[in-house]
Amino acid sequence: MAQEIADRRDVDFVLHEQLGVESLSAHDEFAEFNRKTIDLIISEARNLSIKEILPTREIGDKEGVSFEKGEVTVPEAFHRAYELFKEGEWVAMTEDPEWGGQGMPRAVALAAGDYFNGANYAFMMYPGLTHGAAKLIEAFGTDEQKNLFLKKMFSGDWTGTMLLTEPEAGSDVGALTTTAVANDDGTYSISGNKIFISSGDHDLADNIIHPVLARIEGAPLGTKGISLFLVPKFWVNSDGSLGDFNDVVCTGLEEKMGIHGNATCSLTLGGKGQCRGFLLGEPNQGMRQMFLMMNEARLLVGSQALCCASSAYLYALNYARERVQGRHLLKMMEKTAPSVPIIQHPDVRRQLITMKALVEGMRSLLYYIGYLGDKTQIATDPVEQATYQGIVDVLIPIAKGYVSDRAYDVCNMGLQVYGGYGYIKDYPLEQLVRDCRITMIYEGTNGIQAMDLLGRKLGLNKGKPVMDLFGEVQKTIHMAKTVPDVENLATALEEAVNKLGEVAMHLGATAMSPEVMKAFAFAYPFMEVAGDVVMAWMLLWRATIAAQHLEKGAKKKDTAFYEGQIKSAEFFISALLPVTLGKMNAVLKTNGAAIDISEKSFGG
């Protein structure tokens, strides 16, 4: 079962050969994370994932979460896995050891998460959201709040969530109606209803700490008047002990298409007038504060999607090697010819290499973003820090939006490789398709990610982060042009990059004109083509490294892997990137039919 989570050879390739993460150990912040230590961390994460977490994936899907007499319970199998996860101190892999973290590089934590999320990401949402909530306290909390909550949360003894969505305020967060009224003791009385709250209630931990967006009485309407509060399920006394139940009531669970093992709750706060919270940071800064968590949350969603795709690809690959059906195409007319494994059929191979290329490119992209975060942390020059962070900001909507789209495609292709067997519950692909689908929706739908890329990230800092990103792509192109086996691929990518620059300038200008509606009708296609170019870049980068190894005489055990890297890049850039160029032409035309059509003309 190990190989159905993530390909360890590929994980190691990205960490050590593409990114060279062990070089971070030259800096004090990561001094202890040499290659030996990094490899040990990944091995431990892999072992825990395979032996303890992976068996809970099917259990969580079949048993789901129960809600009886006001109590939410997760599958019993989750409890042992969670205790072992806590014992390994995995909740706060990247955080300051002062607060119970391991202080490891983000890129390494993402690689460990490749196994954890691949094993059962519905389970991993409990510690994942806890980490994000604790990061808000670390960034904006008072010393007292940090002392009360951080160690308990980073250890996993208490968990956390994120309470944004309301029945009438989904993506439009500014329309929320949850209120906060100041009390004499400095706390606030909270009242309101939240829906679609992942990990909102459960029996894995003694307490759940809810960061809640609410509006203080008299605050401005819209997002400008939103503040952020810490609302514990059980009140936390000044000495850290638990007090009374804090009137945070689960009123129901959502019956979902997938991720059945995670409790998606409707919560009522202050239904009996007894819900209190601590203001986190300054009043009316809630949305700005929450955006700190958003980058991490959206990168996590991209990782969840990648892990579904990685599992789907490896399952499909193994199935294609084992499933014998049909004669070889070149022997179709020979009635006595034996049936062959379906991996020998051209269309199955087309699907598999598409899946392979996408999984490899997505893994490189996500680890690269984590690595840029590490570089930001160790950089001493503010300009250098801003450069790294700017590239991260541009890539986040692609890491969430594009990656989850393509990951879902990979899961669908994996199911198709299985044929009819893929559609039944005896095999794992139908669950992976269902579980992956939500990644295109939560933490901001992919249409919102596209709008963010066009409306905010394209013009960020007068376009410097985009140009910095293009500069990094050009470095890879220049390097690849010196390697004969990939030189032609570099030229093809260069054409696509130049075209993408033209499209970005056109769409950016259109978005600033009276044709703004038409521009945003093409925000999603723009995200798609930008993502395709980023994928091609990652694959060319990988292929260039592989070709250099082969030129120098790679070890026999690595030869097939390196040859596979070149073929992934060749297929994507030669067979798929030309389609991207056609999409770019469509964006440049910016046809207005979607905007000009009257509502009545839609029919219905």
The pLDDT tens digits for 365-390 are 999 999 999 999 999 999 999 999 99
Distance CA 391, CA 363 (A): 17
Does one domain contain both 165 and 122? no
Does one domain contain both 143 and 207? no
pLDDT of residue 241: 96
pLDDT in tens, 450-484: 999 999 999 999 999 999 999 999 999 999 999 99
Q: Is 381 a member of any domain? A: no
Q: Is 124 a member of any domain? A: yes
Indicate the pLDDT class of residue 293, thresholds 50, 70 and 90.
Answer: confident
3-state SS, one letter per residue, for 94-115:
CCCHHHCCCCCCHHHHHHHHHH
pLDDT of residue 290: 84
**Domain CATH code at residue 184:** 2.40.110.20
Count of domains forming the chain: 3
Indicate the pLDDT class of residue 29, thresholds 50, 70 and 90.
Answer: very high
- Separate counts of helices (H) and strands (E) for the chain: 19, 14
Comparing CA positions, the residue from 324, 359, 327 lying closest to residue 9 is 359
The DSSP-derived string for 514-545 is: TTHHHHHHTHHHHHHHHHHHHHHHHHHHHHHH
Does one domain contain both 105 and 191? no
Element spanning 467, H or E = helix 464-480
pLDDT of residue 168: 75
Does one domain contain both 110 and 178? no
Does one domain contain both 163 and 150? no
pLDDT of residue 2: 45
pLDDT of residue 405: 98
Q: What is the DSSP letter of 380?
A: -
Q: Is 277 a member of any domain? A: yes
pLDDT of residue 222: 87
| The last residue of a domain, from among 132, 154, 176 | 154
Comparing CA positions, the residue from 93, 151, 153 lying closest to residue 117 is 93
Mean pLDDT value of segment 212-216 = 95
Estimate to the nearest angstrom the gap between the alpha carbon of 208 and the chain centroid.
Answer: 23
Indicate whether 50 pLDDT > 80: yes
Mean pLDDT value of segment 564-593 = 98
pLDDT of residue 578: 98
pLDDT in tens, 509-531: 999 999 999 999 999 999 999 99
Q: Is 51 a member of any domain? A: yes
Does one domain contain both 138 and 165? no
pLDDT of residue 554: 86
Does one domain contain both 171 and 108? no
Comparing CA positions, the residue from 203, 138, 196 lying closest to residue 162 is 196
Does one domain contain both 138 and 238? no
| The last residue of a domain, from among 236, 266, 284 | 284
* Active-site annotation holds for 87: no
Does one domain contain both 66 and 30? yes
Q: Is 117 a member of any domain? A: yes
Q: Where are the alpha helices (DSSP H) in 19-89?
A: 35-48, 55-63, 76-87
Does one domain contain both 77 and 138? yes
Domain that holds residue 74: 2-154
pLDDT of residue 284: 95
pLDDT in tens, 2-13: 457 899 999 999
Indicate the pLDDT class of residue 167, thresholds 50, 70 and 90.
Answer: confident
Q: Is 518 a member of any domain? A: yes
pLDDT of residue 295: 86
pLDDT of residue 3: 56
Indicate the pLDDT class of residue 228, thresholds 50, 70 and 90.
Answer: very high
Distance CA 205, CA 211 (A): 17
pLDDT of residue 495: 98
Distance CA 12, CA 15 (A): 5
CB 136 within 8 A of CB 289: yes
pLDDT of residue 171: 66
Mean pLDDT value of segment 389-408 = 98
Distance CA 125, CA 207 (A): 16
Estimate to the nearest angstrom the gap between the alpha carbon of 330 and the chain centroid.
Answer: 43
Indicate the pLDDT class of residue 223, thresholds 50, 70 and 90.
Answer: confident
What's the chain's average pLDDT?
Answer: 95
pLDDT of residue 291: 81
Q: Is 493 a member of any domain? A: yes
Mean pLDDT value of segment 321-339 = 94
Q: Is 105 a member of any domain? A: yes
Q: Which of 22, 430, 443, 528 is catalytic?
A: 443
Does one domain contain both 150 and 166? no
Q: Where are the alpha helices (DSSP H) in 255-344?
A: 286-322
**Domain CATH code at residue 15:** 1.10.540.10
Does one domain contain both 114 and 231? no
pLDDT in tens, 423-433: 999 999 999 99
pLDDT of residue 59: 97
List b or e across 453-483, with b for residues whose CB sees 16 or more CB atoms inside 10 angstroms. bbbebbbeeebebbebbbeebeebbebbbeb
| The last residue of a domain, from among 154, 187, 221 | 154
